[in-house]
Chains A and B, each alone.
Chain A
Amino acid sequence: MTATKTDAPVTTASDEPADATAPVGSARSERLSALVQQHGALAVLVLVSIVASFSFDSFATGDNVSNMATGSAFLAIVALGMTFVIVTGGIDLSVGSLFALGGVLAAWGSRHGTLVALLLPLVVCGLIGVVNGLLVARSRLAPFIVTLAAMLGARGLMLAITDEGANTYLIGKGSFLAELGQGTTLGLGNPVWITLALFVAGAVVLRRTRFGQHVYAVGGNEDAAALMGVPVARTKIAVYTLSGALAGLAGALNAAWLASGVTILGNGMELDAISAVVIGGTLLTGGLGYVSGSLVGVLLLKVIQNIINQIGSLDSSYQLVVSGAFLALVVIAQTWLGRRRQLV
């Protein structure tokens, strides 16, 4: 049950030695291909980055890399929560609105001190997550509809706090909160370190704890999990709460970075987060996924955007076409692989 990423596929090899689609019997090549498969998105990321750094002078510069890292950090935190939700077979469309709400709450709360500024978004967005979870788990409503309602509601709440978005609350320059968002440690922005710490914690929780096992179990087969005594409802409530709270935290950190509670943020962010999670190898149907993959997915999206910018002269409409095409190809490749997997 606590199989690590690398040894899981090896068990596969020993379980099904006679396989038609991959007739290679050697354990070593099995292990190698398993490794490559597990880190497919990572391989693409590395490849694309290498190509880009040879093609564009300003791609592999310290400035650019650190900008990309900071720019990815906020989406990555949202994608982390989304990974848990998707592994249970759910979806959370409210994260974009919660991200915006979290930012506004942090900026509004910053006048009452750093603690309020950080706790307020966590608590409010976490509570909205609890409501999402309760409706999904106890009332058995479809996650898509529940979180869509939360998405509209949370944005409305944000607009209410800001007078229809006309008021932007600012975070004082030089305050601890601004320093948290804008300061750097060892050359990378503080949000990047916070994100990395959250991902390490997230990976440990998902792979090494009883709760993590429950998350996989619920997504793999809900009925079977319930029969085995897994607390299905409690697990679902927990993942939506986690997703809401992380979206709020990401919004708060982003507000700290921008030094203001910008109201127009987070539109369509839920789709970016879902894309990143799916690119990272997590199945939308649940039961399978990795926290590390989602981080790679976010970075891949960011790198693609950066490359499009590096090209520079591309028309804005073409930029959309290119990012759309890339995403489609990645997902097609994955579906194809998924189908092959089912044939076995």
Chain B
Amino acid sequence: MQRTTSRRPLLARPVVVALAAAVALTATACAKTEDDTADNKQSETAAGAEQKVATPKAGGETCTIDAYGAEKIDLKNATVGFSQSEKEANPFRIAETQSIKDEAKKRGVKLLTANAQSQFSKQISDVQNLLAKGADLLVIAPLNSDGWDPVLQAAAAKKVPIITIDRKINAEPCKDYVSFIASDFVEQGRRAADQMIEATGGKGEVAILLGSAGNNVTTERTKGFKERIAEKAPDLKVVFEQTGDFSREKGQQVTEQLIQSKPGIKGIYAENDEMGLGAVTALKGAGKKAGDVKIVTVDGTRNAVQGVVDGWISGVIESNPRFGPLAFQTLDTFTKGEEVPQDIIIQDGAYNADNAKQDIGKAY
């Protein structure tokens, strides 16, 4: 009854599969060298596009290496591990990784990178790998805010300081991690609301394309937007909220549903550019014209700013992804034994019809 009995023994099988493995490994080796040469071409960043720290709050909590319990090292001789959360299919992620790589190269620091491909379980093993490979310092762009216990324990055991960028890890600063560098997402939400109020005249029904669940960015961008609407334009009603997972396809799909269920919608707030661009595609597909539905997005990618120039998007709130310089500067200060702030908040620009054309060079 078991087919086992009719199975033919074949010596060839492991040989073939082994060959497959060998081919795969050779392929990676080739890809590696290509990757290295590609790195030599540093991405050119337009003047004025680098991250600036917003005025540091007086009395903000700080952290020193003694308080954290690690040992001083010279950043130049250290190995830094960088764990990226999402696939580099989105301009924000591309610019972020590139910025970290460029800065490491500039400072001559050895950098190890990993990409979790938007899979949280992979990010956990990625960071464990970086630790196993001897990273002395870690820069993490977390996919999710919770679930970091195994990583934090492993890093603590090896006394490896962690800096998180763009999203937060829900843990104790200066104990589980050193500092968190990011934009003020609540403020981004508020500013997006301001743009939406201006574009729609403060009246009508608007929709929100939410980011992916389980991280502070989505929650805070939603919170800021709703607060400001409630406070400044009570006639503007949020009638539709659904997640577009920060992706263009999902943003388009959700907007298609939106147009059918709420044909009278006046504005769409997309919590990132990719979803906003998906919304534009959906609106075009539904036969709408530029400006019929006001779209406000957050990020500042080149395609979205071009959308502003073309009139499809009313405003883009910038969320600067060029974390390299600030992250390495923070690591440098910290490893020297000086104090660094626990929360480093960066200042973001904005694009609208007035400045989109001349500032498009700053977009990424």
Chain A interface mostly helix, strand, loop or mixed?
helix
**Is A308 on the interface with B (CB-CB < 8 A)?**
yes
Contact assessment for A333 and B28 in the assembled complex, using a CB-CB cutoff below 8 Å: no
Contact code string A304-344 (vs B, CB < 8 Å = 1, else 0): 11111111111111111110011001101100110011001
**Is B6 on the interface with A (CB-CB < 8 A)?**
yes
**Is B347 on the interface with A (CB-CB < 8 A)?**
no
**Is A76 on the interface with B (CB-CB < 8 A)?**
no
Contact assessment for B146 and A315 in the assembled complex, using a CB-CB cutoff below 8 Å: no
> Chain A residues near B126 (CB, 8 Å)?
309
Contact assessment for B14 and A43 in the assembled complex, using a CB-CB cutoff below 8 Å: yes
Contact assessment for A314 and B125 in the assembled complex, using a CB-CB cutoff below 8 Å: no
> Chain A residues near B118 (CB, 8 Å)?
267
> Chain B residues near A312 (CB, 8 Å)?
112-114, 133
Contact assessment for B133 and A58 in the assembled complex, using a CB-CB cutoff below 8 Å: yes
Highest count of chain A CB atoms <10 Å: which of B119, B129, B130: B129
> Chain B residues near A227 (CB, 8 Å)?
none
Q: How far is the CA of A312 from the CA of B132 in the complex (A)?
A: 12
Q: How far is the CA of A11 from the CA of B117 in the complex (A)?
A: 47
Q: How far is the CA of A216 from the CA of B25 in the complex (A)?
A: 36
A325 to chain B, nearest CB (A): 6
Q: How far is the CA of A267 from the CA of B146 in the complex (A)?
A: 17
Q: Size class of A's contact patch?
A: 35 or more
Q: How far is the CA of A254 from the CA of B146 in the complex (A)?
A: 13
Contact assessment for B4 and A8 in the assembled complex, using a CB-CB cutoff below 8 Å: yes
B119 to chain A, nearest CB (A): 7
A255 to chain B, nearest CB (A): 8
Contact code string A208-222 (vs B, CB < 8 Å = 1, else 0): 000001001100100
Beta-carbon nearest neighbor of A55 in chain B: B25
> Chain A residues near B124 (CB, 8 Å)?
71, 258
Contact assessment for B35 and A33 in the assembled complex, using a CB-CB cutoff below 8 Å: no
Q: Which of A44-52, A110-118, A133-141, A193-201 contacts B (4 or more CB under 8 A)?
A: A44-52
Chain B interface mostly helix, strand, loop or mixed?
helix
* Of B10, B133, B146, B149, the contact of A182 (CB 8 Å cutoff): B149
Contact code string A269-297 (vs B, CB < 8 Å = 1, else 0): 00000000000000100011000000000
Beta-carbon nearest neighbor of A326 in chain B: B24
Contact assessment for B8 and A262 in the assembled complex, using a CB-CB cutoff below 8 Å: no
Contact A288/B4 with A13-B9, A258-B150, A260-B146 known, Cβ cut-off 8 Å: yes
Contact A329/B133 with A315-B88, A316-B115 known, Cβ cut-off 8 Å: no
Contact A166/B214 with A40-B17, A258-B147, A337-B10 known, Cβ cut-off 8 Å: yes
Q: How far is the CA of A37 from the CA of B6 in the complex (A)?
A: 13
Contact assessment for B2 and A288 in the assembled complex, using a CB-CB cutoff below 8 Å: yes
A317 to chain B, nearest CB (A): 7
**Is B16 on the interface with A (CB-CB < 8 A)?**
yes
Beta-carbon nearest neighbor of B84 in chain A: A316
**Is B145 on the interface with A (CB-CB < 8 A)?**
yes
* Of A3, A13, A307, A333, the contact of B17 (CB 8 Å cutoff): A333
Contact A262/B1 with A51-B25, A63-B132 known, Cβ cut-off 8 Å: no
Contact code string A75-112 (vs B, CB < 8 Å = 1, else 0): 00000000000000000000000000000000000000
* Of B17, B88, B150, the contact of A330 (CB 8 Å cutoff): B17
Q: How far is the CA of A305 from the CA of B218 in the complex (A)?
A: 29
Q: How far is the CA of A63 from the CA of B264 in the complex (A)?
A: 58
Contact assessment for B113 and A165 in the assembled complex, using a CB-CB cutoff below 8 Å: no
Contact assessment for A58 and B132 in the assembled complex, using a CB-CB cutoff below 8 Å: yes
Starting from the known contacts A312-B112, A314-B31, A330-B20, 17 additional A-B residue pairs (CB-CB under 8 Å) come to A8-B2, A8-B7, A13-B9, A15-B5, A37-B11, A43-B14, A44-B14, A61-B132, A166-B219, A220-B1, A258-B150, A309-B114, A309-B130, A312-B114, A313-B39, A329-B20, A333-B17
Which residues does B use to contact A, with CB under 8 Å?
1-14, 16-21, 23-25, 27-29, 31-32, 35-36, 38-39, 84, 87-89, 97, 112-115, 117-122, 124-126, 128-134, 143-150, 153-154, 170, 210, 212-214, 218-219, 243
Which residues does A use to contact B, with CB under 8 Å?
1, 3, 5, 8-9, 11-13, 15, 19, 21-22, 30, 33-34, 36-37, 40-41, 43-44, 47-48, 51, 58, 61, 63-64, 67-68, 70-71, 74, 159, 162, 164-166, 168, 170, 173, 178, 182, 213, 216-217, 220, 225, 254, 257-260, 262-265, 267-268, 283, 287-288, 302, 304-322, 325-326, 329-330, 332-333, 336-337, 340-341, 344
Among all A-B residue pairs, the 8 with the closest Cβ atoms: A165-B213, A329-B20, A316-B115, A258-B147, A34-B9, A43-B14, A262-B147, A33-B9
Can you list 26 contacts pairing A with B, beta carbon distance less than 8 Å?
A: A9-B9, A13-B9, A19-B8, A47-B21, A165-B243, A166-B214, A213-B1, A217-B1, A257-B150, A258-B147, A259-B149, A260-B146, A260-B149, A262-B120, A267-B118, A305-B122, A313-B39, A313-B113, A314-B31, A315-B31, A317-B87, A325-B27, A326-B24, A332-B20, A341-B6, A344-B8
